[in-house]
Chain A
Amino acid sequence: MSAALLIEQVLNGLQLGVMLFVMAAGLTLIFGVMGLINLAHGSLYMVGAFACAAVAAATGSFWLGLAASLAAAAITGAIVEIVVIRRLYSRDHLDQVLATFALILIFSEGTRWLFGSFPLYLDVPPILSGAVPLPGGGAYSLYRLAIIGAGILVAAGLFLLIGRTRLGIRIRAGEADREMIAALGVDIGRLYTMVFALGAALAGFAGALVGTIQSVQVGMGEPVLILAFVVIVIGGIGSIKGAFIGALLVGITDTLGRFLLPIAFGTVMNASDATAVGSALASMLIYILMAVVLVVRPGGLYGTAT
């Protein structure tokens, strides 16, 4: 195993990690501020990817598509919040789970009805296509580097937003004490809609960025959603910092596990069995990581104990 290969795999883990962060940040914000568990977050990821693909196909510009993905997901998020989600804040988690499960069915089948069952085309913009050389003789996709950069920018932006702006103060106040913030004269309904739209926009952004190198199709959101759940369970619900650390942990564990476990098993058994056993174990690795974190810290790495 060469150093170049290892560097490339670590970058891959990082790329997966930052995208999981962008997904998980929205989920964790929405939970932190409104106390809502949103299963339909994956659907907003899908909405972003479809909006990007549709607009990019119509205008020929990936960048307009990317802007459209943010707008479409934010607007969809705001509408969903006003029509459905706002009735759920005072309900228990069971109702929230079921209502948002119903939203998944509505979004998935609705998207299929609008766009058909065939995957949509969406490709990397010319300026970001191709690969750049890595130290040690390898090369790495420029677009993936751009994703890592975008993810880190989003993370920095979120930390600034939460820490330094008026909206951020309200969000933190909302997390700490919901009655208090309403008493202070903040329009809590509007704050909730904004936070939900922000989380939705993040999901849509991730969907567009990742959809570009994967496949834009119905049902693309749910696997990512479940990974994002694992991330925020590990990081601690409501904590942006926890989501960041958790996302990187999950990204790197998953990528390196898939790469290294079959090799490790290969030293003790024949190659064909080793790939099968190694791959099977690698697919469970992040859940094992989650179980270990839970045993040590039931509230997640940065969560307050529940």
Chain B
Amino acid sequence: MNLITKSLAALAVLGMTSAAFAEPVKVGMITTLSGGGASLGIDARDGFMLAIKQSGNKDVDVVIEDDQRKPDVAVQIADKMIQSDKVDILTGIIWSNLAMAVVPAAVAQGKFYLSVNAAPSQLAGKGCNAHYFSVSYQNDNLHEAAGAYATDAGYKNTFILAPNYPAGKDSLTGFKRFYKGELAGEVYTQLGQTDYAAEIAQIRASGADSVFFFLPGGMGIAFMKQYAQSGVDIPLIGPAFSFDQGILQAVGDAALGVKNTANWSKDIDNAANKAFVEGFQAEYDRLPSIYASYGYDTANLMLSALAKASPSDADAFQKALEAADFNSVRGKFSFASNHHPIQDIYVREVVKEGDILTNKIVGTAMTDRSNAYVDDCKM
């Protein structure tokens, strides 16, 4: 954030202090609570609601609806929330394709959208919008960090694979952006594929020295279990999605020792993160996932901005969001000019704590990483 906007934000704070909490704020959360991807949406929701609860703020009214991971359902819920519930702020969408269906129309109607996860490149570059903020990352970030890590670790011949859909292609493009070595192979699998024997055979035959894969959800579980059984022992690298708290227990020991890149980990040492991890365990009796952390940060960012301005004063509220004046569980956090985070991205390793598989930070892949689309965004 540059000096001018920062001082503008400060001015806005001075002018708006009395506006805070003048009226209840309605927030619409559209997220996936049923079907295959439900665990992600449930975690994001729980993280978000935990932050609201901890804040003790009674003036925030959150309406939550299940999008069933269907873009058409998400659009209809957004219509309902805007037209019928008259929400001021929307949030919650996990999947990029749902975000692309909802966000452009929502911000065009003057609503604010705060992303707890999905941040497709279209919304970061030419399609950026003053009312759209991604609190999580830009989609390419964790893949870029994996590429940077592979280069730092001295890998020269990496085999890369992802599902054959836009986010999969973005993932491999992101990896290649910071990877300096050769590619042993580049394979696109079918989305939702559950058997990776054919791909593992190709990895075995390719002579690769490392494997980068992006297979979210059940696909990643299947891949890692089958990889562990195949007798191939080339090191794996991936973005955090396949090594997240909700998934690791299903993968089992097959995931032990795998390096993955993430912008959050439960062992990041700061007060906000401590309060989050302990609070989450106390409230829900399980370890928080990365999606829960995004939900928590999103709610805290929103609360920090609400303390300074009301969404009905759109410009002031936007400035208050841009200031990112909250304690992120990730530590330092600020917004780039296209409203995506500037943050450190870590390398984590899957370890066992007692019987529970979890992640531990072992290094930093990128420092103060913004994103590749900042210059395309004119707002």
Contact = CB atoms under 8 A, between A and B. Distances in A.
Contacts of B198: 9, 12, 255, 258-259
Contacts of A154: none
B202 A271 contact: no
B2 interface: no
Contact of B35 (A218, A223, A259, A282): A218
Interface stretch (A29-37, A169-177, A273-281): A273-281
Given A120-B250, A130-B229, A213-B229, A219 B36 contact: yes
A15 interface: yes
A214 B221 contact: yes
A123 B251 CA distance: 8
B370 to A, nearest CB: 26
A271 B188 CA distance: 11
A124 B218 contact: no
Interface stretch (A135-143, A158-166, A188-196): A135-143
Given A139-B204, A262-B188, 5 more contacts: A9-B201, A141-B231, A262-B187, A275-B187, A279-B164
A214 B222 contact: yes
Count chain A CB atoms within 10 A of each CB in B36, B187, B198, B219 and give the residue with the most.
Answer: B198
A275 B190 contact: no
B197 A255 contact: yes
Interface string A203-224: 0000000101111111110010
A103 interface: no
Interface of B: 34-36, 38-39, 42, 164, 169, 186-190, 192, 194-195, 197-198, 201-202, 204-205, 217-219, 221-222, 225-226, 228-232, 246-247, 249-254
Contacts of A8: 197, 201, 204-205
A37 B249 CA distance: 37
A141 B250 contact: no
B221 A276 contact: no
Contacts of A15: 197
Contacts of A117: 34, 38-39, 42
A123 B254 CA distance: 9
A84 B188 CA distance: 42
A110 interface: no
14 contacts: A5-B205, A8-B197, A9-B201, A12-B201, A16-B195, A109-B34, A118-B39, A119-B250, A123-B254, A131-B231, A213-B222, A213-B225, A215-B219, A255-B198
A130 B228 CA distance: 8
Contacts of A116: 39
A131 B219 CA distance: 21
7 nearest A-B residue pairs (beta carbon): A131-B231, A117-B38, A215-B218, A12-B197, A215-B221, A119-B250, A214-B222
A139 B230 contact: yes
A259 B206 CA distance: 13
Contact of A124 (B188, B204, B229): B229
Contacts of B188: 262, 275-276, 279
Given A16-B195, A255-B197, A144 B229 contact: yes
Given A214-B222, A271-B186, A275-B188, A5 B202 contact: yes
Interface string A252-272: 000100110010000000011
A121 interface: yes
Contact of B205 (A4, A112, A258, A282): A4
A61 interface: no
Contact of B201 (A5, A120, A124, A223): A5
Contact of B246 (A4, A118, A259): A118
Nearest to B254: A123
Nearest to A121: B250
A220 B231 CA distance: 26
Contacts of B246: 118
B226 A279 contact: no
Nearest to B183: A271
A129 interface: yes
